[in-house]
Amino acid sequence: MHTPPIQIAPSLLSCDFGQIAAEVKRTEDAGADWLHVDVMDGHFVPNLTIGPPLVKAIHTAASIPLDVHLMITNPAEFAGPYAKAGAEVLTYHWEVAPSEQASLEVIAAFREQGVPQVGVAVNPDTPIEGIEPLLGSVDLVLVMSVFPGFGGQSFIADVLDKTRWLRSAGFEGHVEMDGGLDPATLPLCAEAGANALVAGSAIFGPPDMAATISELRAAAEAALPAGSEA
């Protein structure tokens, strides 16, 4: 089956926020495909991060797509501001709209407010089967491989089954994995069928970001399941 190409998406949560424009440029120059932006509201997760004005500043500095991950309780209310600020992909969490009807309403609100690509995320302890009715309505499914809130946590390997399930259910959109991805765990995600691969500490930690991104990309492409297109 056709799966979309690998997208390496550095999480700006691990960047130097005091030099955000330079960090965006450095990340692009190092070969990133998307910039992953983690939005936290202090309610859905116990951390508080990035509002629309900062997303706009990132968008102004960036030339690659912004992949905005909303870890907030009221995503429909903020879809317009984040879309206007320049989000290309905007992802909400299933846990804040945990039924087919509630989620379809969020997705419709995102589309009405001009979100180009809509994603739905599931936490590590959320069964994936609940989102089956949404698979025809979203562009991306984000399988969280840590509990959201902070960078630098350890990868939860059990969630790889959800990625496999999505591909076996025939989902041909982006399957993204986020949390604890590093040179050892990122190939496991690609092998299971994920194509959008988020990494924060593994990309911003080592000194040579270009070498790090090329190594991660090569490891992902080498691990792709037979029959998928790189």
Residues belonging to the active site? 38, 178
Instruction: Record the tokens describing residue 102, joined without a space.
Output: 């509630």
178 touching ligand DX5, by CB under 6 A = yes
Rounded to a whole number of angstroms, the minimum distance from the CB of residue 178 to ligand DX5 is 5
Whichever of 104 and 153 has its CB closer to ligand DX5, that residue is 153
Q: Which is nearer to ligand DX5, 86 or 151 (CB)?
A: 151
Question: Is 176 one of the binding residues for ligand DX5 (CB under 6 A)?
Answer: no
Alpha carbon separation from 147 to 64, 72, 95, 156, 191 (Å, rounded): 27, 14, 12, 9, 22
**CB under 5 A: which stretch of 39-47, 170-178, 186-194, 214-222 binds Zn ion?**
170-178
Q: Which stretch binds Zn ion (CB under 5 A): 33-41, 54-62, 187-195, 206-214?
A: 33-41
Q: Which of 52, 86, 119, 179 binds ligand DX5 (CB under 6 A)?
A: 179
Q: Does 174 bind Zn ion (CB under 5 A)?
A: no
Region from 17-25, 72-80, 91-99, 149-157 binding ligand DX5, contact rule CB under 6 A: 149-157
211 alpha-carbon distance from chain centroid: 22
- Position among 65, 119, 148, 193 found at the interface with ligand DX5 (CB under 6 A): 148
Specify whether the CB–CB gap between 35 and 27 falls below 8 A. yes
Query: Does 36 participate in binding ligand DX5 (rule CB under 6 A)?
Result: yes
Residue 179 interacts with which of ligand DX5, Zn ion, none, CB < 5 to 8 Å by class: ligand DX5
The rounded distance, in Å, linking the Cα atoms of 110 and 193 is 26
Q: Give the dihedral sign, CA 12/25/34/55.
A: positive
CB of 170 to ligand DX5, least distance (A): 26
Q: Which residues bind ligand DX5 (CB under 6 A)?
A: 11, 13-14, 36, 38, 69, 146, 148-149, 151-153, 178-181, 198-202
Q: Which residues bind Zn ion (CB under 5 A)?
A: 38, 69, 178
